[in-house]
Amino acid sequence: MRALSMTRSRAGGRSADALSRMDVTLMAIACALAVATLYYNQPLLPQIGASFGRSPAQSTFITTATQFGYTVGLFFFVPLGDKLDRRRLVCGLAALNVAALLAAAFARNLDALAWSSFAIGLTTVSAQIVIPAVSGFATEAERGRVVGALLSGMSAGLLFSRAFSGFVGAHGGWRLMFVLAAIVDLVLIAVIWLRLPTRGERGVISYLSLLRSLWTLLRTEPTLRAACLTGFLMFASYSAFWSSLAGLLASPPYRFGSDVAGEFGLVAIVGLLLSPTIGRTVDHHGPRPALAAGALSLFGAFLLVAGSAKAIALLVAGAVLIDFGSRAGVVANQSRIYALSAAARSRLNTVFMTAFFLGGSIGTAVAAELVARLSWLGLAIAGGGFALAALAAHLATQ
């Protein structure tokens, strides 16, 4: 990727017509810090439930509340990236996220924590504003690679969040984790304020017109509809696994603590290393092969998960495939929707990611029901079913 000179804008960010490697790296770090907040609670669910006298299964709705809040935030906040100064928008959302995290840290009951978790998800959408903003500075030949690099950052944030959260939960308690997450958000604000590239442009469309245009984009862009459908199903499969993992590992035959559950997030290293390769594959061969490979990987992973109660090696292998499959789907889908309209990238991302995380909420809820009844087999049925549906949807759409 070519490195071009960058000039500092009055507000303190950066303005340019293209990207340097340093810009992409720093924005990948920003995406990592932003997305981490969404996953801190997953390894902590058994601990959270126990502190309020609830089982791990009964505390799963904390994750659902966070993901649902994220979906709402995607719909109402991310479109503003086509209208407002993105740097100020991201910093403002991150400041609100700090308040929500502190509210969660001092929640007195599970209902208060659920509402705080909804607010956390609502204000954790910064990465989905940064990614379309940065992708707009990439050429067509580089876009898949740039998106892959930013998603590598998100993968690193996911890895960091689960491993760090599990460790902190085991040694300092779940409330401390939310306090530390608020501190991490302050670092995010500094990175975005100083380095997010901007062109100084402002949209003239009204906010209500922005929201109405979301439906127009969905109605008129078949590629966007196809991306939303496969994204919904693939992230439902992915979320079914990760939202259920800590509770299953805390149960017989394993009885592991939150630290071990968090360490499973380290499998994201594989996806982190593969993201640039996935991006180059999309650039050279188009998104369809990557999408098919991702859906097949997810389905194969849950065949392994079905036997996880008997062999933890199957669980590790399944987790690696789940991370790869989900990442291939995201890189391919985001690369193809960003190519549809330069002026509407934030809104295109809004429509896609709203469907994507709505799928995550549904996947989490369905898995909770099946896991409560059938344990590991229930998880395999939930995740594998969504993956198979994603493959069928991909083959049926353009």
Task: Out of 98-102, 229-233, 242-246, 288-292, pick the least confident.
Answer: 242-246
**From 3-12, 19-28, 52-61, the region with the lowest mean pLDDT:** 3-12
For residues 30 and 151, the answer to whether their CB atoms sit within 8 Å is no
User: What pLDDT does residue 168 have?
Assistant: 92
The pLDDT value recorded for residue 1 is 38
Check residues 209 and 298 and name the one with the higher pLDDT: 298
Residue-level pLDDT at 224: 95
6 confidence band (pLDDT: 50, 70, 90): very low
Bridge partner list, 7: 15
Q: Give the domain 16-196+219-396 fold.
A: Growth Hormone; Chain: A; (1.20.1250)
Q: Which residues contact 222 (CB under 8 A, 6 or more apart)?
A: 397, 398
pLDDT at residue 137 greater than cutoff 80: no
pLDDT tier at 4 (50, 70, 90 boundaries)?
very low
Distance CA 170, CA 261 (A): 10
Distance CA 172, CA 363 (A): 30
Of the chain, the percentage scoring pLDDT greater than 70 comes to: 87
| Rounded (10°) CA dihedral 49, 50, 55, 60 | 20
What CA–CA distance (Å, rounded) separates 213 from 216? 5
What's the mean pLDDT in 185-200? 84
- What is the residue whose two structure tokens read 């994220």? 70
Averaging pLDDT over each range in 228-232, 317-321, 347-351, which range is the top one? 228-232
pLDDT at res. 276 = 66
Bridge partners (DSSP) of residue 198 are 15
Beta-ladder partners of 8: 14
**Structure confidence at residue 108 (pLDDT):** 93
Predicted local distance difference test score (pLDDT) of residue 9:
41
> Looking at residue 187, what is its pLDDT?
92
Whether residue 246 has pLDDT greater than 90 = no
Write down the pLDDT at residue 199. Answer: 61
Q: Flag whether pLDDT at 368 surpasses 60.
A: yes
**Global model pTM greater than 0.85:** no
